[in-house]
Structure 1
Amino acid sequence: MAENASSRAQQRPHAGVGTGSHRDLARGPKDAYFRSLYTKAPDFRAMALNDPEFAAFIKGRGRDLNFSDPNAVMQLTKTLLKVDFDLSIELPEDRLCPPVTNRHNYILWLKDLLDTTSYDEPGRKAVGLDIGTGASCIYPLLGCAQRDWSFIATGDLECAENNVKLNDLESRVRVIGRKPDDALIPLDDLKMDCIDFTMTNPPFYESTEAMLESAAGKSRPPFTACTGAEVEMVTEGGEVGFISRIFEESLVLRERIQWYTAMVGFLSSLTKIVDKLWEHKIDNYAVTEFTQGNKTRRWAIAWSFQPLRPAQNVARGTKAALSRNILPPMTETTAFKMPLRENIGGFAENLSNAIAALELVSWNWNKEKLEGVGRAVDKVWSRPWRRQKKREAEMQMNKEMDGGGNTEKPSSEAQVCRFGFKVAVRVARDHVSVEARWLEGHDEVALESFRGFLKTASEKAVEDLKKA
Structure 2
Amino acid sequence: MSKTKKGLHPRNLHQGSYDFELLCRASSPLGAFVFTNQYGTRTIDFSDPEAVVALNQALLKQYYGVDFWQLPEGYLCPPIPGRADYIHALADLLSTGGNIPTGKQIKVLDIGVGANCIYPIIGSQSYGWSFVGCDIDAISLKTAGLIASANKNLTPFIKLRLQKDKQSIFKHIITKQDKFALTICNPPFHSSLEKAQAGTARKVKNLNKSKTEQAVTLNFAGQENELCCVGGEIAFLKQMVIESCEFANQVNWFSSLVSKSENVAPIKKHLEGLGAKQIKVVKMAQGQKISRFIAWSFNDFSIT
TM range (shorter): 0.7 to 0.9
Identity over aligned residues, as a percent? 30
Instruction: Tell me whether 1:46 sits opposite 2:22 in the alignment.
Output: yes
Going from structure 1 to structure 2, the CA distance change for 1:236 and 1:198 (only over 3 Å counts) comes to same
Whether 1:220 and 2:206 are equivalent positions in the alignment is yes
Matched, 1:260 2:254: yes
Mapped partners of 2:100, 2:22: distance in 1:
36
Q: CA deviation at 1:251?
A: 1.3
Q: Is the 8 A contact 2:56 2:80 kept in 1?
A: yes
Distance 1:285 1:37, change over 3 A: same
In structure 2, relative to structure 1, the CA distance for the partners of 1:221 and 1:264 (3 Å cut) is: farther
Return 252-261 or 172-181, whichever deviates more. 172-181
Please give the alpha-carbon distance, in whole angstroms, between the structure 2 residues aligned to 1:256 and 1:175: 18
The alpha-carbon deviation at position 188 of structure 1 amounts to 7.1
Of 67, 73, 85, the residue aligned with 2:64 is: 85
Aligned residue number for residue 296 of structure 2: 303
SS of corresponding position for 1:67:
coil
Q: 1:177 aligns with which of 162, 176, 179?
A: 162
One-letter amino acid of the structure 1 residue matched with residue 281 of structure 2:
V
Give the aligned partner of residue 237 of structure 1.
Answer: 231
How much has 1:57 moved relative to structure 2? 0.8
| Counterpart in the other structure of 2:76 | 96
- Please give the alpha-carbon distance, in whole angstroms, between the structure 1 residues aligned to 2:18 and 2:123: 21
Residue 109 of structure 2 is matched in structure 1 by 129
Structure 1 residue 221: Cα displacement:
5.3
- The one-character-per-residue Cα deviations of 1:237-280 (angstroms, maximum 9, x if unpaired) are 21222222221111122132000000122111222211212333
Which residue of the partner structure matches residue 151 of structure 2? 167
Give the match for residue 58 of structure 1: 34
What is the distance in 1 between the residues matched to 2:224 and 2:275?
36
Secondary structure of the equivalent of 2:234?
Answer: helix
**Within 5 A, what are the aligned runs for 1:313-352?**
none
Tell me what 1:68 maps to. Answer: 47
Q: Which residue of 2 aligns with 1:197?
A: 182
Contact 1:187 1:194 in 2 (8 A): no
Deviation of 1:283 (Å): 4.0
Is the contact made by 2:252 and 2:297 (CA closer than 8 Å) also made in structure 1? Answer: yes
The alignment partner of 1:133 has SS state of coil
1:207 aligns to 2:192 (yes or no): yes
User: Greater Rg, structure 1 or structure 2?
Assistant: 1
Kept after mapping to 2: 8 A contact 1:185/1:249: yes
Does structure 2 retain, via aligned residues, the 8 Å contact 1:153–1:176?
Answer: yes
| Separation of aligned partners in 2, 1:215 and 1:96 | 12
Relative to structure 1, the CA distance from residue 189 to residue 251 in structure 2 (aligned partners, 3 Å threshold; closer, same or farther) is closer
Contact 2:94 2:100 in 1 (8 A): no
User: CA RMSD for the aligned pairs?
Assistant: 2.7
| AA matched with 2:64 | F
Closer, same or farther: CA 284–185 of 1 in aligned 2, 3 Å: same
Note the C-alpha offset of 1:296: 3.3
1:148 aligns with 2:128: yes
> How big is each residue's C-alpha offset from its partner over 1:320-355, in whole Å with a ceiling of 9 and x where there is no partner?
xxxxxxxxxxxxxxxxxxxxxxxxxxxxxxxxxxxx
Q: Is the Cα–Cα contact under 8 Å of residues 200 and 263 in structure 1 kept in the other structure? A: yes
**Would you say the 8 A contact 1:152–1:176 is kept in 2?**
yes
TM-score (norm 2): 0.81
Q: Which has the higher contact order (CA 8 A, sep 6+)?
A: 2
CA distance in 2, matches of 1:94, 1:209: 15
Inter-CA distance 112–119: structure 2 relative to 1 (3 Å threshold): closer
Q: Does residue 1:289 correspond to 2:269, yes or no? A: no
Against the structure 1 CA distance between its residues 161 and 34, is the aligned structure 2 distance closer, same or farther, given a 3 Å change threshold? farther
Distance 1:188 1:140 in 2: 17
For the residues of structure 1 that align with 2:200 and 2:12, how far apart are their CA atoms?
A: 32
Indicate which of 104, 125, 138 corresponds to 2:118: 138
In the superposition, relative to structure 1, how do residues 136 and 216 fare at CA in structure 2: closer, same or farther (>3 Å)?
closer
Which of 228, 236, 245 is the aligned partner of 1:251? 245
TM-score (norm 1): 0.54
Which amino acid in 1 is paired with 2:141?
A: L
Q: Residues 262 and 302 of structure 1 are in contact (CA less than 8 Å); yes or no, is this contact kept in structure 2?
A: yes
Q: Equivalents in 2 of 1:194, 1:182: separation in Å?
A: 23
In the alignment, the residues of structure 2 paired with residue 179 and residue 276 of structure 1 have an alpha-carbon distance, to the nearest angstrom, of 27
Shift of 1:166: 1.6
